[in-house]
Amino acid sequence: MSQFWSAMAKRAEPYVPGLQLEDEKIIKLNTNENPYPASPAVIAAIQQETANLQLYPSATADSLREQIAEAYQLSKEEVYVGNGSDEVLAFSFMAFFDQEHAIRFPNITYSFYPVYANLFNISYEEIPLNEDFTMPIESMFQAKGGVIFPNPNAPTGIYLELTAVEAVIVNNPNVVVIVDEAYIDFAGASAVELIRKYDNLLVIQTTSKSRSLAGLRVGLALGNPILIEGLMRIKDSINSYPLDRLALAGAQAAFADNAYFVKTTKQIITTREHVKAGLQALGFHVLPSQTNFVFATHPNYEASELYEQLFAKGILVRHFNKKPIDQYLRISIGTKTEMERFLESVKEIIATAER
Ligand SMILES: *Cc1c(COP(=O)(O)O)cnc(C)c1O
């Protein structure tokens, strides 16, 4: 604490991201990055754009927004883009949630939500998930200040059917419902198809997971033009250019190259199911994941112990030391080769422990 900090800086309880180790020998399965590099078309577009770095980027990001609108059969006015979906989420809290009215989100969810709520002094209610980590959707109805949840949820990986998502939207007609679809491309139907039906729905997505662009920082929000205008008002009161020229060019190329995205996403889903079966064969309980990670626990081994032993073998996964998920490990899906090594290592650890 410093006397020089504002009340806001003092109040802040910053999010702690997963370790970013630069050691290339480590198999990094802790932050749900895509194991495949960005599409070659993305690299080419960024290279070309380096010729224009003396100029400010577009403040309205029209070409990228048009490209995204085309991909989702929307109009540019229904698309917002920002510096990673974390920034889009932060701006959304500022644009749609008020201090006096409590918002709701699940008690086990993306840990940035309480961070934003604290920072902006927005009160919140954490809705306890069911024992099996599914969401009790009626508890999300008639929220006073708004609702936010990821679908699929993180770190559980569990997907909520679109009919249930729609029920949450219908039962919150006077507040904004934000569906954070960071992992939707590895899952079922997106709520994007409901945007024209409900003016209180905001869908947030990212290029960080399914489009292999975590390092470029491009997130997006899709919703009614009035909601998008609300986000623009916040953006233009903070930073006219949250996306630089390279990010705009790269993200546009990523949305233009659908074939690459479809291919890598399919591969990750196939590997995920293989890893799930492999862990189950070793006695793990694995939640039904529709993401690029699995959330797993073993009845006979401490999760923190498995985490340490995997790390000693050069494999980094994520462990949240927080009840009731402290016996679970979150394992991002890497390449086929990486995941074979992961399964092999788990098998060795378990065999040694049994002796
Ligand atoms: C990864 C993730 C994000 C953040 O994505 P960025 O676009 O990289 O900021 C947002 N929400 C959830 C649930 C995530 O898992």
Q: What is the Å distance from ligand 1's center to 164 Cα?
A: 22
| Six-digit token string for 126 | 């954490």
Distance from C-alpha of 34 to C-alpha of 265, rounded to nearest angstrom: 9
CA nearest ligand 1 atom 5, residue: 85
CA nearest ligand 1 atom 2, residue: 182
CA distances to 10, 112, 114, 115, 318 from 1, rounded to whole Å, are 7, 22, 20, 18, 29
- Partners of residue 150 on adjacent β-strands: 180
How many residues are present in the chain? 355
Q: What are the structural domains, with CATH classification, of the chain?
A: 21-36+259-353 (3.90.1150.10), 40-256 (3.40.640.10)
Residue 162: pLDDT over 90: yes
Query: What residue ranges line ligand 1, CB within 6 angstroms?
Result: 32, 84-86, 110, 150, 154, 180, 182, 206, 208, 214, 219
Contacts of residue 18, Cβ cutoff 8 Å, sequence gap at least 6: 30, 31, 318
pLDDT digits (tens, 9 = 90+) for 133-154: 999 999 999 999 999 999 999 9
Let me know: does 202 contact 221? Beta carbons within 8 Å. Answer: yes
pLDDT digits (tens, 9 = 90+) for 237-248: 999 999 999 999
* Confidence tier at 95 by pLDDT (50, 70, 90): very high
User: From start to end of 137-288, where are the E strands?
Assistant: 146-150, 177-180, 201-206, 219-223, 285-286
Q: What is the Å distance from ligand 1's center to 179 Cα?
A: 12
Q: What is the Å distance from ligand 1's center to 176 Cα?
A: 19
Angle, CA 36 vertex, CA 327 and CA 209 arms, to 5°: 55
What is the chain's alpha carbon radius of gyration, rounded to the nearest angstrom? 21
pLDDT digits (tens, 9 = 90+) for 259-299: 999 999 999 999 999 999 999 999 999 999 999 999 999 99
Ligand 1 pocket: which of 15, 80, 85 to mutate (most atoms within 8 A of CB): 85
What strand order describes the sheet that includes 79-82?
Answer: 79-82, 219-223, 201-206, 177-180, 146-150, 103-106, 124-127
pLDDT digits (tens, 9 = 90+) for 315-353: 999 999 999 999 999 999 999 999 999 999 999 999 887
Looking at residue 136, what is its pLDDT? 97
Cis peptide before 136 (omega within 30 of 0): no
- CA–centroid distance for 56 within its chain: 28
Q: What is the Å distance from ligand 1's center to 35 Cα?
A: 16
Angle between helices 245-256 and 62-71 (to 10 degrees): 20
pLDDT digits (tens, 9 = 90+) for 16-51: 887 777 777 899 999 999 999 999 999 999 999 999
User: What's the whole-number mean pLDDT along residues 165-190?
Assistant: 98
Q: Is the dihedral of CA 93, 96, 99, 102 positive or negative?
A: negative
Distance from C-alpha of 19 to C-alpha of 3, rounded to nearest angstrom: 30
Ligand 1 pocket: which of 32, 87, 110 to mutate (most atoms within 8 A of CB): 110
Looking at residue 1, what is its pLDDT? 85
* Confidence tier at 89 by pLDDT (50, 70, 90): very high
Q: What is the Å distance from ligand 1's center to 12 Cα?
A: 19
Residue 74: pLDDT over 70: yes
Contacts of residue 223, Cβ cutoff 8 Å, sequence gap at least 6: 78, 80, 195, 201, 202, 203
Contacts of residue 81, Cβ cutoff 8 Å, sequence gap at least 6: 61, 64, 65, 68, 88, 218, 219, 220, 221, 243, 248, 251
- Partners of residue 172 on adjacent β-strands: none
Question: 81, 75, 73, 135: which is closest to 104 by C-alpha?
Answer: 135
Looking at residue 141, what is its pLDDT? 98
Q: What is the Å distance from ligand 1's center to 54 Cα?
A: 30
10 Å CB burial of residue 332 (0-12, 13-18, 19+) is buried
Q: What is the Å distance from ligand 1's center to 182 Cα?
A: 6
Q: What is the Å distance from ligand 1's center to 215 Cα?
A: 12
- Mean pLDDT across the chain: 96
Collapsing DSSP states into helix, strand and coil, what is residue 132?
Answer: coil
Collapsing DSSP states into helix, strand and coil, what is residue 150?
Answer: strand
Distance from C-alpha of 79 to C-alpha of 13, rounded to nearest angstrom: 30
The pTM for the full model equals 0.96
* Atom of ligand 1 minimally distant from the CA of 150: 13
* Atom of ligand 1 minimally distant from the CA of 85: 7
Looking at residue 354, what is its pLDDT? 62
